[in-house]
């Protein structure tokens, strides 16, 4: 069992999947393997369906586990370990991504923390970075072009993008010692540590991801350019970007004026 999962983890790393994805998917498979008798390569569609239905999971978790099963068994087919994937016949799981609220200005103003944490918050709320991208910022990622400061962002799936920077954020990065902006024991801080630091600094009821939604909402309200917001956030699809926008009742009333 472990050899198949280890080989799958190696495959994910080789094709550039982030460590967080490798950990989550191999952990999900090991949990299944601990409860499934025999080798999981021999599991049937019924075995996988029973596992998905035997837990009080949210739709998002069930969706994630099903995706792991489908990718894992496809890998085994391509590696000629099994002839057919039992996950191909799993029933679809309805999972709707709902628009969640963006952090209000009052929540950002109430952030408590040292300069390091405040810079993390600004990178999320004013530049739209994910926690894993904040963790991986290096001083060499700071660039200058004729129009101003830019930052090379190391995104999910080893994809890079370059975004404009606010001058004050660029100055704080430039003033930092050469190296990782947020150094940790084994290089830079982990994404989970960045999440914990930001969450602890924010008022109750608001999490780090609401800062990224704040960036998306404010940027779209300013220019109404969804493509620009998509490029800032590093989304591969516009439909994903749309989910990040928090449309207020005030904005809806303003829109209604155009059809009065």
The per-residue pLDDT for range 26-68, each reduced to its tens digit, is 999 999 999 887 789 999 999 999 999 888 887 778 888 999 9
| Active site (annotated) includes residue 63 | no
Distance (Å, rounded) from C-alpha 25 to C-alpha 18? 11
Mean of pLDDT values over 116-140: 95
Mean of pLDDT values over 185-201: 90
| Active site (annotated) includes residue 130 | yes
pLDDT value of position 139:
97
Mean of pLDDT values over 165-192: 93
| Active site (annotated) includes residue 244 | yes
Taking the domain 105-256, which CATH number applies? 1.10.443.10
Catalytic, out of 172, 188, 209, 213: 209
pLDDT value of position 57:
81
| Active site (annotated) includes residue 212 | yes
Catalytic, out of 8, 63, 220, 244: 244
Where in the chain do CATH 1.10.443.10 domains reside?
Answer: 105-256
Residues 6+ apart with CB under 8 A from 102: 210, 213, 214, 216, 217, 218, 246
Alpha helices in 59-190 (DSSP H): 59-78, 105-109, 115-125, 131-135, 167-174
pTM of whole model > 0.85? Answer: no
CA atoms lying within 13 Å on the CB side of residue 65: 25
Where in the chain do CATH 1.10.150.130 domains reside?
Answer: 2-89
Q: How confident is the model at residue 69 (pLDDT cuts 50, 70, 90)?
A: very high
Distance (Å, rounded) from C-alpha 58 to C-alpha 96? 11
Catalytic, out of 36, 41, 156, 193: 156
Taking the domain 2-89, which CATH number applies? 1.10.150.130
Catalytic, out of 17, 212, 213, 214: 212
Q: Assess whether pLDDT exceeds 90 at residue 115.
A: yes
pLDDT for 1-29, tens place per residue?
A: 578 999 999 999 998 887 878 989 999 99
pLDDT value of position 121:
96
Q: Are 110 and 71 in contact (CB under 8 A)?
A: no
Q: How confident is the model at residue 97 (pLDDT cuts 50, 70, 90)?
A: low
| Active site (annotated) includes residue 156 | yes
Q: How confident is the model at residue 123 (pLDDT cuts 50, 70, 90)?
A: very high
Cα torsion angle, 76, 97, 231, 112, sign: negative
Distance (Å, rounded) from C-alpha 173 to C-alpha 67? 38
pLDDT for 205-222, tens place per residue?
A: 888 889 999 999 898 888
Mean of pLDDT over the chain:
88
Crossing angle of the two packed helices 59-78 and 2-14, in degrees rounded to 10:
90
């Amino acid at each position: 069992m472990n050899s198949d999962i280890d080989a799958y983890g190696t495959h994910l790393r080789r094709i550039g999947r982030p460590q967080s994805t490798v950990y989550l998917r191999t952990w999900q498979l090991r949990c299944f393997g601990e409860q499934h008798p025999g080798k999981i390569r021999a599991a049937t569609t019924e075995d996988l369906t029973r596992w998905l239905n035997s837990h009080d999971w949210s739709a998002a978790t069930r969706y994630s586990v099903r995706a792991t099963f489908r990718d894992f068994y496809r890998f085994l087919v391509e590696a000629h370990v099994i002839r057919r994937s039992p996950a191909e016949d799993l029933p679809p799981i309805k999972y709707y991504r709902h628009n969640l609220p963006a952090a209000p200005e009052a929540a950002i103003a109430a952030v408590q923390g040292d300069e390091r944490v405040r810079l993390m918050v600004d990178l999320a709320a004013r530049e739209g970075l994910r926690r894993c991208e904040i963790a991986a910022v290096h001083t060499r990622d700071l660039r200058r072009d004729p129009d101003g400061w830019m930052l090379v962002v190391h995104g999910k799936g080893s994809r890079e993008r370059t975004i404009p920077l606010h001058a004050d954020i660029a100055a704080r990065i430039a003033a930092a010692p050469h190296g990782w902006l947020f150094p940790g024991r084994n290089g830079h801080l982990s994404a989970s540590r960045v999440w914990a630091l930001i969450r602890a600094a924010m008022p109750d009821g608001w999490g780090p991801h609401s800062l990224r939604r704040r960036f998306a909402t404010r940027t779209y309200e300013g220019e109404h350019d969804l493509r620009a917001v998509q490029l800032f956030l590093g989304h591969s699809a516009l439909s994903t970007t749309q989910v990040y926008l928090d449309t207020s009742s005030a904005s809806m009333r303003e829109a209604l004026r155009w059809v009065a």
